[in-house]
Amino acid sequence: MSDRLMDVYHRLYATYGPQHWWPGDGPFEVVAGAILTQSVAWVNVEISLAKMREADCWSFSAVHHIAEPELAKLVRSSGYFNAKARKLKAFAAHVTVKYKGGLDVLFAQPTQLLREELLSIYGIGEETADDIIVYGAGKPSFVIDSYTRRIMDRLDMSPDAERPKYSDYQALFHKHIPADITLYSEFHALWDHHAKMVCFKTAPSCDACCLLDICLTGKKLILNG
């Protein structure tokens, strides 16, 4: 599995080059973006972040003190804006009350303790927590999303479980590739880029895929096409 994963990584990297994620400027924007990008494209998140910046709602203290309906208006473009405003305020309250509005002490914790604390905050699920850990705290905790699962399933690289969970997919990376922050961040970004460019949910462009010769699903689709 180690060889297979690294083969995929090198193929994707050779095809697309470095992705230089996260598309956020500083830890606050990474955290806010990770929450806002749940179930929505990043372009919509950028609009919300711009409105937050324009309104001077650009710190955890500011998010903590702004009225929730006002915050919801600012992040409307991100969809599910009432729920996301609530999540932003929950995170801001946690950081403001426990860490005086800063992230340094929170992020200085060992990765597992940091992850457990993030998951204890309302609205922070596994993918969002790992986004924050990798792209905000700069610690290795491989991010799994629907794009990664889609491609791995098509490559017949899914975890050996009847109904694989997030942790099952993540464990494959933690067990079989080095816990290197650059590798983790680039690999996750490359999975996503490949899914958006070639390995679509429906009607994937298998003929243009750099993984075709190792993808049984792609070969079958072309054969039956």
| CB contact at 8 A, 45 and 33 | yes
- Say yes or no to pLDDT of 77 above 80: yes
Q: Where are the alpha helices (DSSP H) in 100-165?
A: 104-107, 111-119, 126-131, 146-154
49-76 per-position pLDDT tens digit = 999 999 999 999 999 999 999 999 999 9
Evaluate whether 124 touches 31 at the Cβ level (below 8 Å). no
List, in sequence order, every beta strand (DSSP E) within 68-215. none
**Residue 56 and residue 62 in contact, taking contact as beta carbons nearer than 8 Å:** yes
Least confident piece of the model among 48-52, 125-129, 219-223: 219-223
Nearest to 92 by CA among 70, 59, 128: 59
148 dihedral zone (left: phi>0; alpha: psi -120 to 50; beta): alpha
177 DSSP 8-state letter: S
Confidence of residue 26 (pLDDT cuts 50, 70, 90): confident
Q: Report the candidate in 196, 197, 223, 215 with the shortest Cα–Cα distance to residue 153.
A: 215
Is the pTM for the entire model greater than 0.85?
A: yes
* Structure confidence by residue, pLDDT tens digits, 137-188: 999 999 999 999 999 999 999 999 889 999 999 999 999 999 999 999 999 9
